[in-house]
C-alpha cells in the first residue's frame, strides 16, 4: 500500500515546527497526529498547532488524530478534525513494558495472601482531580493505615483536609518514579484505588492496565462511566465487594465521595478476613487477566488508520510513526512469553 501520509507523534513535541513546514511543502493524502499515548492532542505547540489547523481548513483537508482516549464525554471538539479512538492502546503498551522492565510480577488469584493494608493508592504527578481525591482520603481518615503515596503538590488546589506532605512508599520512587515499578506494598494490599491520568476524559492508562494485567481488584477515580466502559470491553466488575453506583454520578465531588464509601466499608473489615474476600472474586480476577491479553492482541481494537500504518511499514520498511511501530512490534514479541 503506497501511503502518501505524513505524521507527527505527540511525544516528539520539539519537532512540531519542522512537521508543520513539511506539511505545507507539498500535498498529502493524510496528515496525522499520533497521540495514542495521550488524550490532550490539542495541547501541541501553542503557535504551530493553530497554524496547522488553519492550514488544513484552508486546503479543506481534515486533520486525522489518533488518541488514546475514549469517545464518551470527550471534552475537546474542534472543526476539521477526524478523531480515531484507540482506548485500549495502553493495555498492550503496559503489558510489554512490564515484561521488559521486570519490575513487577503477576498475582495468582488463588494463592492466599496475608495483607498488611486494605488498599493502595499511588499518586505521582499532581493534577486537580488527584488533589481532590487525596483531600477526601484525608477527610475519611483513610491515609494513615493504608498504602498511600503523594509525590507532588504543584496544582492550584486549596487543601481542606490534607496537610500536604510528601509520602513515599519506597525510596526508589523519589528518584526515578518509573511508572512500571511496583512497590512491595502493592502486593501487601487487598485492593487498589486508582487515580487515573485525567478526570476530564476516560483514559485507560497504565494505571488501570496494571491491576487488570497483574491481577488486583480496583476502583477508579476518573471520569463518569469509566467502569461502564470497562464492562463494555468485556471485563468483570467486582460487584461482590464494591458498589458501582458512583460511576453514574455526574458531579465529581459527589462521585468521589460515593467512591470512597467503598473504601470506608472495606477498611472496617478485619484485615484477617480479606483472604476470604479475595477467594470470593478470584475467578473474576483471573478472567480479567485473560480478557486484558485477548483485547491487546485483537487487531479489531486497533483503529483502521493504525493498521494502515503498520501494513505500510511491513510492506515498505517506512515508519510513518516510529512510536506506533515500535510498541506494536514489542507487543508481538511478547505474545508467547509467560508473564
- The three-state secondary structure class of 323 is helix
Asked if residue 243 belongs to a domain, the reply is yes
DSSP assignment, residue 62?
P
pLDDT at res. 174: 62
64 or 151, greater pLDDT: 64
Asked if residue 294 belongs to a domain, the reply is no
Which residues are within 8 A (CB) of 111 and not within 5 positions of it... i.e. 6 or more apart?
A: none
Do both 134 and 63 map to the same domain? no
Query: What is the tens place of the pLDDT at every residue in 67-77?
Result: 999 999 999 98
Asked if residue 334 belongs to a domain, the reply is no
Do both 75 and 220 map to the same domain? no
Q: Is it the case that residue 296 has pLDDT exceeding 90?
A: yes
Asked if residue 288 belongs to a domain, the reply is no
Which residues are within 8 A (CB) of 265 and not within 5 positions of it... i.e. 6 or more apart?
A: none
Asked if residue 293 belongs to a domain, the reply is no
C-alpha closest to that of 39 among 62, 63, 6, 73: 73
Domains in the chain: how many in total?
A: 2
Do both 158 and 129 map to the same domain? yes
Asked if residue 310 belongs to a domain, the reply is yes
Q: What are phi and psi of 82, to 5 degrees?
A: -120, 115
Do both 60 and 192 map to the same domain? no
Q: Where are the alpha helices (DSSP H) in the chain?
A: 16-23, 48-58, 89-101, 128-139, 172-175, 184-187, 206-214, 226-233, 252-267, 274-280, 282-296, 304-316, 322-333
CB-side neighbour CA atoms (13 Å) of 34: 22
C-alpha cell at 118: 486494605
Q: Which domain holds residue 70?
A: 5-86+302-328
Q: Using an 8 Å Cβ cutoff, are 192 and 217 in contact? A: yes
Do both 10 and 78 map to the same domain? yes
Asked if residue 242 belongs to a domain, the reply is yes
Asked if residue 15 belongs to a domain, the reply is yes
Q: Is it the case that residue 123 has pLDDT exceeding 70?
A: yes
Please give the C-alpha separations between residue 38 and each of 158, 204, 326, in angstroms, as whole numbers: 27, 10, 17
Do both 173 and 73 map to the same domain? no
Query: What is the tens place of the pLDDT at every residue in 156-214?
Result: 889 999 999 989 898 776 666 567 778 999 999 999 999 999 999 999 999 999 999 99
What's the rounded mean pLDDT across residues 54-58?
Answer: 97
Amino acid at each position: 500500500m503506497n501511503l502518501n501520509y505524513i505524521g507527527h507523534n505527540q511525544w516528539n513535541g520539539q519537532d512540531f515546527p519542522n512537521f508543520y513546514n513539511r506539511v505545507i511543502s507539498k500535498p498529502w493524502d493524510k496528515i496525522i497526529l499520533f497521540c495514542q499515548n495521550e488524550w490532550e492532542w490539542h495541547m501541541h505547540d501553542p503557535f504551530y498547532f493553530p497554524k496547522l489547523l488553519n492550514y488544513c481548513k484552508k486546503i479543506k483537508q481534515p486533520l486525522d488524530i489518533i488518541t488514546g482516549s475514549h469517545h464518551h464525554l470527550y471534552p475537546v471538539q474542534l472543526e476539521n478534525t477526524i478523531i480515531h479512538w484507540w482506548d485500549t492502546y495502553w493495555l498492550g503498551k503496559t503489558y510489554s513494558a512490564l515484561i521488559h522492565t521486570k519490575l513487577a510480577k503477576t498475582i495468582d488469584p488463588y494463592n492466599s495472601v496475608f495483607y498488611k493494608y486494605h488498599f493502595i493508592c499511588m499518586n505521582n504527578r499532581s493534577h486537580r482531580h488527584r488533589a481532590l481525591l487525596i483531600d477526601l482520603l484525608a477527610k475519611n481518615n483513610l491515609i494513615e493505615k493504608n498504602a498511600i503515596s503523594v509525590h507532588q503538590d504543584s496544582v492550584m488546589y486549596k487543601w481542606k483536609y490534607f496537610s500536604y506532605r510528601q509520602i513515599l512508599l519506597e525510596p526508589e520512587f523519589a528518584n526515578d518514579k518509573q511508572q512500571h515499578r511496583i512497590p512491595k506494598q502493592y502486593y501487601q494490599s487487598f485492593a487498589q484505588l486508582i487515580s487515573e491520568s485525567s478526570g476530564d476524559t476516560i483514559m485507560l492508562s497504565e494505571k488501570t492496565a496494571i491491576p487488570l494485567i497483574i491481577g488486583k481488584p480496583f476502583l477508579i477515580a476518573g471520569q463518569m462511566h469509566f467502569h461502564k466502559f470497562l464492562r463494555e470491553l468485556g471485563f468483570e466488575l467486582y460487584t461482590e465487594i464494591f458498589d458501582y453506583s458512583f460511576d453514574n454520578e455526574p458531579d465529581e465531588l459527589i462521585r468521589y465521595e460515593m467512591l470512597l464509601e467503598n473504601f470506608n466499608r472495606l477498611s472496617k473489615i478485619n484485615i484477617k478476613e480479606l483472604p476470604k474476600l479475595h477467594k470470593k472474586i478470584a475467578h473474576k480476577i483471573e478472567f480479567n487477566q485473560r480478557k486484558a491479553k485477548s483485547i491487546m492482541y485483537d487487531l479489531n481494537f486497533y483503529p483502521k488508520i493504525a493498521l494502515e500504518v503498520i501494513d505500510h511499514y511491513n510492506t515498505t520498511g517506512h515508519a510513518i510513526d516510529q512510536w506506533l511501530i515500535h510498541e506494536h512490534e514489542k507487543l508481538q514479541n511478547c505474545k508467547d512469553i509467560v508473564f
